[in-house]
Structure 1
Amino acid sequence: MKGELYNIQSSSDSWIGTILRSPAKLGVALALGAAALILPACEAPDQTAGSGADTAQPQLGETQDQPGATAEQQPPADGPEQLVGQTVVLNGEVNEVYGPDAFSMQAEDTFATDEEVLVLVTGGETPTLVEGEAVQLTGEVQQFDAAVIQDEYGADLDQTLLSQLADEYEGRPVVITPSIDQLASELPNNN
C-alpha cells in the first residue's frame, strides 16, 4: 500500500511523480506552496487605519485623512467646510474669547480664507487665553449643531455658552479639540 500512495504515476520523468514518491520532497513542496501563499500577506496595506490603533498626531498643515499631505505640498482648503470630518492641526491667533471652553481663531495656513473658525475645547483645564495670542491645537472639523455637540460633549461644555454660540455659529464649521497643544510662549520661533 505504501508504494501505491507515492507511486501515482509510473513515469520516472514526471516531476509530480518524483515529488510524490519522496516524502522529503513532498514536505519541501508543501512548505514552498504555503510560503507562496503567506508571504504576500506580509505586504498587505495596514488594516488598522481608522480603528483607533494609529495614535500619531498629524503634523502642522496636514490632516489625519491625508497623511503626509502638508500645506507646502497641497494648497490650504478654501474654507473650513471642505475639511468637515477631518482632523486638522491649527496654528493661529485667538480672535475672540467666548469663555474657558470656546474661542474663535484664524488659521490661514490650514484654510485659504480669512474667515474665523470657532474652537470648542472639550476636555480638562483650558489655559486662560488672550485675544491676539498665538495657539496651536489638533482637532476635528465638524458642522456646528448645538444638539449633537451637547449630546457628545455636554458634560464638558458650559451649556449657557453653547446656547449663545448656536445663535452665531449654527451650521458653520467648528473645530472640536480635547486641549490646546501649545500657547505662544511654547511655539517655536516665538521669543
Structure 2
Amino acid sequence: MSSRSTKGGSLRSAKGAFALAAIAIALPMGYLNAQEVTRTINKNNIIAQADRRTPQERRNVTSEELADKFKALVGKRVTVRGRFLEKIGNNTFTIADEEFLGVEPILIVNLSGNPLDLPSNDIEVQATGVVRSFSLAEIAKRYNQQFDRATYAQYENDPVIIARSVAPAPEPEEITSNPSPYYNRRLAVPGNVQRVYSPNAFVLENNLLVLNPYPKQAARPRVTQGERVVATGVLDRLVIADIEREYGFTLDAGIRKQLEADYADRPVLIVDNVYPSAVDE
C-alpha cells in the first residue's frame, strides 16, 4: 500500500489547524507554544503567557506538529525526526513520526550534499531545514532541482522540508546492541542522560558513551542526569588517546582512567552538538 493512502483528510480541510495557524501568525510563534495557544483560544483571551522554552526547543518540533501547523512554520528552520517511509527520488524521501504514521507523510528534499545512508529502512531519520509549501515549479527553480511531474504532483501544496542536514536517528539500544552498522556514520541520537562524568563525557540510556570535545559550542553545554537530549556526531570505538589527539582536548585523568576501564573499544558517540529533545517517551 502506498504511504500516500494513509493521507485521510487533507490539510487544506483542517479548519482547526488553520485557526491555530492564524493565531500563531497574529501572535509570533517565538512567544507561544501550542498548549498556550490552545488555552488562549479556549478562554477567548488574546493575552499570551511567555514561552519558557529555549530557542532550540521552539525550533525542534515533532513531525505531527509540523503536519498540523505547517502553514505557520513556512519559512522557518526546524528539526524533525520520524520513521523513514519511502525513497521518492535521488535526494528526496518521506518520513512520518513513529507514533503518528496515520498523518500525512512529510516530504524531505535533501540538499545537504550527502546522500541519506541508512543501515536499514526501519530506523528513524532526523532532518533539519526550512519548511516550505511544496510547489513543484517554485521549488525546482529556487533550489535548482529537477522533479518528475507525474511523481511529485501528488505532493503539491503539502509540507516539504528543504533539508541542509539529514542523518540516521537510531535509539541508543539499537547502537549498543549492534554497533557495527553505525561505525563511522554521522548520527543524531535521542536518549535520556543516564550518567554525567563531566561536560566532556556523559552516558545515554543503554550505556551509550558520549564524548563532547567542545561542550561550550553545543546548544546544551551542560547536561543533567535524567534529561532527554539529542546528540549529533560520529560513532567510533573508544580509544581515548586517539580521540584526544584527533579532537584536541584532554579528559580529566580520573575520568579517563574510569572510561578506559568501563568502555575500552566499545562504541562512543563523538558529538559536535547536544540539544534538548522535543520528543517525549
Q: TM-score range by the shorter chain?
A: 0.5 to 0.7
Match for residue 65 of structure 1?
Answer: 117
Q: CA deviation at 1:68?
A: 9.6
Match for residue 266 of structure 2?
Answer: 172
Matched, 1:150 2:244: yes
Matched, 1:122 2:216: no
| SS in structure 2 at match of 1:167 | helix
Matched, 1:56 2:112: yes
- Measured in 2, the distance between the counterparts of 1:64 and 1:122 equals 25
Q: CA deviation at 1:150?
A: 1.9
| CA deviation profile, 1:32-86 (whole Å, cap 9, x unmatched) | xxxxxxxxxxxxx89xxxxxxx98399xxxx953399462699956423431111
- Measured in 1, the distance between the counterparts of 2:265 and 2:246 equals 16
Indicate how the Cα distance of structure 1 residues 147 and 55 shifts in structure 2: closer, same or farther if over 3 A, else same: farther
Indicate how the Cα distance of structure 1 residues 94 and 189 shifts in structure 2: closer, same or farther if over 3 A, else same: closer
Match for residue 185 of structure 2?
Answer: 86
| CA deviation profile, 1:129-186 (whole Å, cap 9, x unmatched) | 1111000121111000122112112x33424233431121111000001221x225xx
Q: How does 1:29-48 map to 2 (within 5 A)?
A: none
**What root-mean-square deviation, in Å, do the aligned CA atoms of Structure 1 and Structure 2 show?**
3.7
One-letter code aligned to 1:56: S
Contact 2:212 2:271 in 1 (8 A): yes
- Measured in 2, the distance between the counterparts of 1:79 and 1:68 equals 12
- Measured in 1, the distance between the counterparts of 2:113 and 2:276 equals 17
TM-score normalized by structure 1?
0.52
- Measured in 1, the distance between the counterparts of 2:112 and 2:257 equals 33
| SS in structure 1 at match of 2:191 | strand
- Measured in 1, the distance between the counterparts of 2:239 and 2:113 equals 25
TM-score normalized by structure 2?
0.37
| SS in structure 1 at match of 2:244 | helix
1:134 to 203, 218, 228: 228
Match for residue 24 of structure 2?
Answer: none
Match for residue 162 of structure 1?
Answer: 256
Stretch of structure 1 that moved more, 81-90 or 137-146: 81-90
Larger-gyration structure (1/2): 1
Matched, 1:104 2:200: no
Indicate how the Cα distance of structure 1 residues 118 and 131 shifts in structure 2: closer, same or farther if over 3 A, else same: same
Q: How many residues align?
A: 123
Q: Which has the higher strand share?
A: 2
Unaligned residue ranges in structure 1 (runs of 5+): 1-44, 47-53, 107-114
- Measured in 2, the distance between the counterparts of 1:162 and 1:151 equals 14
